[in-house]
Amino acid sequence: MIVRKTDRVLVLGITGRQGAFWTEKMLACGTRVVGGVNPKKAGETQSGVPVFASPAAAQAAVGFDVAVMFIPPAAAREAAVAAIEAGAKLLVVLTEHIPQQDVMRIHAAAARGGTRIVGPNTAGLVTPGECFVGIMPAFNERVFRPGRVGVVSRSGSLGTLVCLELTRAGLGQSAFIGIGGDPMLGTTTRDAVAALDRDPGTDAVVIVGEIGGAMEEEAAEYAALMKKPVAAFIAGAAAPPGRKMGHAGAIVMGDRGSYASKRRALESAGVAVVDTPAEIPTALRRRLP
Amino acid sequence: MNFEEHAAKTCILAAAGIATPQGRLCRTPAEAAAAVAAIGAAVVKAQVPAGKRGKAGGIRRADTAEEAETAAGAILGMAIAGHAVERVLVEARAAIAREFYAAVLPDVAGRCPMVLFSTEGGMEIEEVAAARPEAIRRRRVDIESGFAIADARAMLYGLGLGPDVDAAVAAVLVKLYDAYRRFDAELLEINPLALLADGRIVALDCKFVLDDAALYRQGEIAAAGAGERLTELEAKGAASGLKFIQLEGDVGVLANGAGLTMTTMDVIRHCGGRPANFLEIGGEAYTKSEAALGLVLANPGVKSLVVNFCGAFARTDVMAEGVVKAWEALKPKIPVFFSIHGTGEDQAVALVRERLGIEPYERMEDAVRAAVEAAR
């Protein structure tokens, strides 16, 4: 789930307003966009890349590794399954508000097809200096610079802020992995932390979590065994319980998913948990050799 | 979206073919008395979209019309978990042999639906799960192949229910799963599922939560849902497609994205202040910053405001334009503190500087600290 500039990327919904806008940005950042999909505009080009009728047609004509979805919720399941069946190795689902049972069907198809899902409701993946896939400001040099810190985030906006802090501190990033704000994700915090742990370009990891679910607790179990230093910020300490805080996954019921539970789990795993995003670089520096 | 018991029973269980006791929805003690006169010994239940109604005194027995009138009189007008009780369900009572638990819900780890069953129904399932986890049978379902009678029987294997009950419960579980799928449930739970003395299986209570993301294709039943309890401003926000949560504090928050908005609230509290609201203008809502600012400022408790943008998908120039317009139109008397980064930040910063004469802070922590001090 760390994207590389050699990865061939297919953009589903490439001709829409957002699809076209972000395709231009991706191309400008070095992403190898090999094509797009829109059944009604097959044969045309968008931003200089060919538009195909389906992911299968794109696979046959140019081949792709990664598919990214600029598709509204009601059409998301069908588009995702088409990309999976066409052999996507990685599918980045940006769409928010996909019905939960459609999400389950996407995951079921991915399990059968051997596709890794990132998302739903992710802002995407960035490898500074190489490329990006999604809707992150990878082109903004004040936010993203090549470095050796890997960032895992449920939120795009907060992930952007954390990357900005790392760049300000002169650390930069080896990779940004946006896992998404939905409750049922294809790639969990733990999966992403493990990928960064294995990545030779990464020396330290930042977990940007939020209240709700149990992903930070699971990631803590893995972090306890890591040699690379890990710092974390968890959003939602001041959130009122029992209400969905924008992200469908960000809700506290009883003690489950609470800020206290996550902070406790991460701290007992030796992770430096900070109170504000600006403290992350300092916390990491203290732990880096 | 939560459904009250009567709505879950009439919309979901009836359509699924799962039996419920004969019942009537009543708005007055007189209606409740008439209902018992017609159907006999009954239970009178408060209708609110919340659990633990029994513990709150919202469920009472009534054997006669007089008792029903008294019970309904006591329950109507109660507040349960903040919900005023406006209606009671008067339901016929029958002799119960056993109480079971049945539910279908999402299994996050398996990324699939899960069917739950327990012979220990009638109490909070969380309590059963904590005290005797082995008393709950769980089965993950492959959503593409579904949940058949054979799957249900495999779940019930070894519970010693006897052949007739086993078959009847298995049939209910399959119907429950089918209803979960058909109605886009986030949760569909029957507790208790009663085995009556005469051998019938009847759902005495039902909890149904509809997936909000599926409202667009569940229009027929959505109207029967209870919706969230919203303040006037929250409802106004919802009407314009904005997720606005009104809080007790005095520092207003306008930020983009759920994660950044929560963080802004956290940092306000970390600096000793109290956030006045949660308001997300992430995703497609980033173009609505003008309406959003109107909401934040209409909250009477607000003494200062933090505008914190970190644009990825959301363009900060578009959001700043909305804020500036709203600010010029509303001319609020409170101080505002900006921090703006990410997509479109140069134009956004220039706009705020030129039109409002305000210099955005380099760090959001500094903008928050200034806003907290101004609110004191």
CATH number at residue B360: 3.40.50.261
Out of A32, A228, A247, A263, pick the active-site residue: A247
Within this chain, do residues A81 and A156 fall inside the same structural domain, yes or no? Answer: no
> Would residue A107 show up in a list of annotated catalytic residues for this protein?
no
- pLDDT for position A247: 65
Cα distances (Å, whole numbers) of residue B192 to A289, B18, B103, B196: 59, 13, 10, 11
Domain finish residue from B38, B71, B93: B93
Within this chain, do residues A153 and A218 fall inside the same structural domain, yes or no? Answer: yes
DSSP run (H or E) holding B163 = helix B163-182
The C-alpha torsion from A188 through A285 and A273 to A234, rounded to 10°, is -50
* 3-state secondary structure at position A84: helix
Within this chain, do residues B17 and B47 fall inside the same structural domain, yes or no? Answer: no
Q: Is B132 exposed, middle or buried (0-12, 13-18, 19+ CB in 10 A)?
A: exposed
Question: Please, are residues A49 and A23 in contact by the beta-carbon 8 Å criterion?
Answer: yes
Residue of A nearest to B282 (CA): A157
Shortest distance between the Cα of A34 and any Cα of chain B, in A, equals 22
Within this chain, do residues A236 and A162 fall inside the same structural domain, yes or no? Answer: yes
Start-to-end Cα distance in chain B? 38
The residue range of the domain holding A242 is 140-287
Domain finish residue from B228, B260, B295: B228
B275–chain A Cβ distance below 8 A for any pair: yes
Radius of gyration for the alpha carbons in chain A, expressed in angstroms and rounded: 18
- pLDDT for position A249: 63
Assign residue A165 the CATH number of its domain.
Answer: 3.40.50.261
Residue of A nearest to B243 (CA): A246
Within 185-244 of B, beta carbons closer than 8 Å to A belong to: 186, 211-214, 216-217, 243
Shortest distance between the Cα of B236 and any Cα of chain A, in A, equals 16
Within this chain, do residues A74 and A203 fall inside the same structural domain, yes or no? Answer: no
Q: Would you say residue A135 lies in a domain?
A: no
Within this chain, do residues A110 and A221 fall inside the same structural domain, yes or no? Answer: no
B266–chain A Cβ distance below 8 A for any pair: yes
Within this chain, do residues B224 and B330 fall inside the same structural domain, yes or no? Answer: no
Contacts of B315 (CB under 8 A, 6+ apart): B286, B343, B344
The residue range of the domain holding B194 is 1-21+95-228
Within this chain, do residues B200 and B294 fall inside the same structural domain, yes or no? Answer: no
Set of chain B residues whose Cβ sits within 8 Å of the Cβ of A136:
312
Distance CA B367, CA B217 (A): 43
Assign residue B65 the CATH number of its domain.
Answer: 3.30.1490.20
Set of chain A residues whose Cβ sits within 8 Å of the Cβ of B112:
104, 107-108
Is B262 in contact with A250 (Cβ distance < 8 A)?
Answer: yes
Distance CA A134, CA A68 (A): 7
Cα distances (Å, whole numbers) of residue A98 to A93, A206, B1, B24, B87: 10, 28, 15, 36, 34
Within this chain, do residues A278 and A158 fall inside the same structural domain, yes or no? Answer: yes
Within this chain, do residues B180 and B76 fall inside the same structural domain, yes or no? Answer: no
Assign residue A78 the CATH number of its domain.
Answer: 3.40.50.720
Within this chain, do residues B193 and B325 fall inside the same structural domain, yes or no? Answer: no
- pLDDT for position A248: 61
Shortest distance between the Cα of B67 and any Cα of chain A, in A, equals 36
* Candidates A101, A142, A236; nearest CB to B262: A236
Set of chain B residues whose Cβ sits within 8 Å of the Cβ of A142:
341, 345
Set of chain B residues whose Cβ sits within 8 Å of the Cβ of A243:
245
Distance CA B363, CA B306 (A): 12
B130–chain A Cβ distance below 8 A for any pair: no
Per DSSP, A5 falls in state T
B267–chain A Cβ distance below 8 A for any pair: yes
Question: Please, are residues A121 and A176 in contact by the beta-carbon 8 Å criterion?
Answer: no
Tokens at A243, concatenated: 């209400």
The β-bridge partners of B107 are: B112
Is B257 in contact with A157 (Cβ distance < 8 A)?
Answer: yes
Set of chain B residues whose Cβ sits within 8 Å of the Cβ of A91:
none
B51–chain A Cβ distance below 8 A for any pair: no
Within this chain, do residues B325 and B341 fall inside the same structural domain, yes or no? Answer: yes
Shortest distance between the Cα of B241 and any Cα of chain A, in A, equals 12
Within this chain, do residues B365 and B250 fall inside the same structural domain, yes or no? Answer: yes
The pairing of strands A66-69 and A8-12 is parallel
Per DSSP, B85 falls in state P
* Candidates B144, B247, B267; nearest CB to A108: B144
Within this chain, do residues A92 and A152 fall inside the same structural domain, yes or no? Answer: no
Is B266 in contact with A237 (Cβ distance < 8 A)?
Answer: yes
Within this chain, do residues A282 and A144 fall inside the same structural domain, yes or no? Answer: yes
Report the side by side order of strands in the sheet with A116-118: A45-46, A49-52, A32-37, A8-12, A66-69, A90-93, A116-118
Within this chain, do residues A182 and A271 fall inside the same structural domain, yes or no? Answer: yes
Within this chain, do residues A255 and A155 fall inside the same structural domain, yes or no? Answer: yes
Within this chain, do residues B158 and B12 fall inside the same structural domain, yes or no? Answer: yes
Q: Would you say residue A96 lies in a domain?
A: yes
Q: Would you say residue A130 lies in a domain?
A: no
Within this chain, do residues B207 and B280 fall inside the same structural domain, yes or no? Answer: no
If one counts the domains in chain B, the total is: 3
Is B259 in contact with A213 (Cβ distance < 8 A)?
Answer: no
Q: What is the pLDDT of residues B94-142, one digit of tens each?
A: 899 999 999 999 999 999 999 999 999 988 888 888 888 889 999 999 9
Domain finish residue from A87, A118, A149: A118
Closest CA to B221 of B13, B23, B20, B48: B13
Within this chain, do residues B297 and B266 fall inside the same structural domain, yes or no? Answer: yes
Shortest distance between the Cα of A52 and any Cα of chain B, in A, equals 25
> Which regions in chain B score pLDDT beneath 70?
227-228, 282-283
Within this chain, do residues B135 and B13 fall inside the same structural domain, yes or no? Answer: yes
| Cβ contacts from A onto B, under 8 A | 176
Residue of A nearest to B278 (CA): A245
ipTM of the complex: 0.93
Domain finish residue from B93, B125, B141: B93
Within this chain, do residues B111 and B244 fall inside the same structural domain, yes or no? Answer: no
* Ramachandran bin of B290, using left for φ above 0, alpha for ψ from -120 to 50, beta for the remaining angles: alpha
**Residuewise pLDDT in 10s, chain A (289 residues):** 999 999 999 999 999 999 999 999 999 999 999 999 999 999 999 999 999 999 999 999 999 999 999 999 999 999 999 999 999 999 999 999 999 999 999 999 999 999 999 999 999 999 999 999 999 999 999 999 999 999 999 999 999 999 999 999 999 999 999 999 999 999 999 999 999 999 999 999 999 999 999 999 999 999 999 999 999 999 999 988 777 666 666 665 556 689 999 999 999 999 999 999 999 999 999 888 7
B255–chain A Cβ distance below 8 A for any pair: yes
If one counts the domains in chain A, the total is: 2
Within this chain, do residues A153 and A73 fall inside the same structural domain, yes or no? Answer: no
- pLDDT for position B242: 87
Q: Is B86 exposed, middle or buried (0-12, 13-18, 19+ CB in 10 A)?
A: exposed
Q: Would you say residue A1 lies in a domain?
A: no
Distance CA B138, CA B116 (A): 5
Within this chain, do residues A102 and A195 fall inside the same structural domain, yes or no? Answer: no
